[in-house]
Amino acid sequence: MSSDASAPPLKRAGVPAPAETPARRLSVLLSRAPRLRLGLLLTAPLFWLGLVYIAALAALLVTAFWTVDSFTGTVSIEWNLDNIVTVLTGAVYQAVTLRTVGVALLVTVIDILIALPIAFYMAKVATPRMQRVLVILVLMPLWASYLVKAYAWRSVLSEGGLVDWLVTPFGGNTPGYGLHATVITLAYLWLPYVIMPIYAGLERVPDSLLEASGDLGAKTWRTLRSVVLPLLWPAIIAGSIFSFSLSLGDYITVNIVGGASQMLGNLVYTNVGAANNLPLAAAIALIPIAIMIVYLGLVRRTGALENL
């Protein structure tokens, strides 16, 4: 204690004392109050997301219980369950919901089946140099414009198009536009969103783990099934959220290559645009919301949401 008093005052060579500016005082205040700091960080983003997005979703839910005045065509605030009942019991809505969910599931399964081997080759087989080239090659064109890619498939599948030209010598025809074209195109569109998380997930699986499994006598398939797959689940599910959700709401691709088939998105679109029935459109939109909430709730515990 006494030695402290006799010691020369501490010198901070070359560092001038900070000037007492308002900014400095605020800085000192903030560094002493982590809660305040956190509050300031979160205010703007929460304000935006809460006010713009959550409020809009809540309003959508409310609107589904309103009606449209059949004379004026304006939304009138008359509370009733008509729209919800229509959507839940109407044969058209049930059929379209089943079709949409079916397409979304099929697209997701196809994408995962394609993504797994490709991502595995990229992450574990290719040389580091090749790996970087492959990442760019696989991801770059697929990030390119959504419409262009849907249109490209229209062009490929059209009558007299590339597929026709390829299969005509063998007595075939192009399958043309329809539900199968929708599935192909959507699977093509969302493939990067599935490959990316799976590739990232595989990169995180250490090679030493795979070697240990091999040393313990596991064959390739056994290692893949018992070591790689369990570690990869969150990444696979993260990818599936994109392909499933994006397919669930799509109506543009269906318009471009789907022929006469309709999905939930088309119903929402017609009711907002041509029919100008926002309440009914809102009620229809609740279907994909409900499906996604259930889906996200189911996968929450897998840690998939941290892998997005």
Partner 1 sequence: MRLSRPLRTTLGALTIAVLVMIYVPLFVVLVNSFSTSQSLVWPPPGFTLEWWGKAFQNQGALSALWTSVQVATLATLISLVLGTLVAIALQRYRFFGRQSVSLLVILPIALPGIVTGIALNNAFRTILGLQLGFFTIVVAHATFCIVTVFNNVQARLRRTGTNLEEASADLGAGIWTTFRLVTFPQLRSALFAGGLLAFALSFDEIIVTTFTAGVGTTTLPIWIFQNLFRPNQAPVVNVIAVVLVAVSVIPIYIAQRIAGAERVSK
Q: Site residues for partner 1, window 11-70 (CB under 8 A)?
A: 12, 15, 18, 23-24, 27-28, 30-31, 34, 37-38, 41-42, 44-46, 48-50, 52-57, 59-60, 63
Paired residues of 55 in beta bridges: none
- Closer by beta carbon to partner 1, 5 or else 22: 22
* Residue 76 binds to partner 1 (criterion: CB under 8 A): no
CB-side neighbour CA atoms (13 Å) of 185: 29
103 near 300, Cβ under 8 Å? no
Rounded Cα gap, residues 263 and 91, in angstroms: 14
Amino acid at 17: A
- Closer by beta carbon to partner 1, 5 or else 285: 285
Amino acid at 50: G
List all residues 6 or more positions away from 81 whose beta carbon is below 8 Å from its beta carbon.
65
Least distance to partner 1, CB of residue 145, Å:
4
299 near 305, Cβ under 8 Å? yes
- Closer by beta carbon to partner 1, 116 or else 179: 116
Q: What is the footprint of partner 1 within residues 267-306 (CB under 8 A)?
A: 268-269, 272, 278, 281-282, 285, 288-289, 292, 296, 305-306
Rounded Cα gap, residues 38 and 205, in angstroms: 34
Least distance to partner 1, CB of residue 26, Å:
8
> Of these, 94, 146, 204, 225, which contacts partner 1 (CB under 8 A)?
146
185 near 149, Cβ under 8 Å? yes
* Residue 117 binds to partner 1 (criterion: CB under 8 A): yes
Least distance to partner 1, CB of residue 8, Å:
20
Amino acid at 103: V
Q: What is the footprint of partner 1 within residues 246-265 (CB under 8 A)?
A: 246, 248-252, 256, 264-265
CB-side neighbour CA atoms (13 Å) of 243: 36
**Token pair listed for 299:** 């996968």
Least distance to partner 1, CB of residue 268, Å:
5
* Residue 93 binds to partner 1 (criterion: CB under 8 A): no
Least distance to partner 1, CB of residue 7, Å:
20
Rounded Cα gap, residues 80 and 76, in angstroms: 11
Number of chain residues interacting with partner 1 (CB under 8 A) = 102
Q: What is the footprint of partner 1 within residues 147-176 (CB under 8 A)?
A: 147-149, 151-156, 158, 160-162, 164-165
> Of these, 109, 135, 231, 275, which contacts partner 1 (CB under 8 A)?
135
Least distance to partner 1, CB of residue 6, Å:
26
Q: Got the DSSP string for 124-188?
A: IIS-HHHHHHHHHHHHHHHHS-HHHHHHHHHHHHSTTSHHHHHHGGGT-----SSHHHHHHHHHH
> Of these, 241, 254, 258, 262, which contacts partner 1 (CB under 8 A)?
241
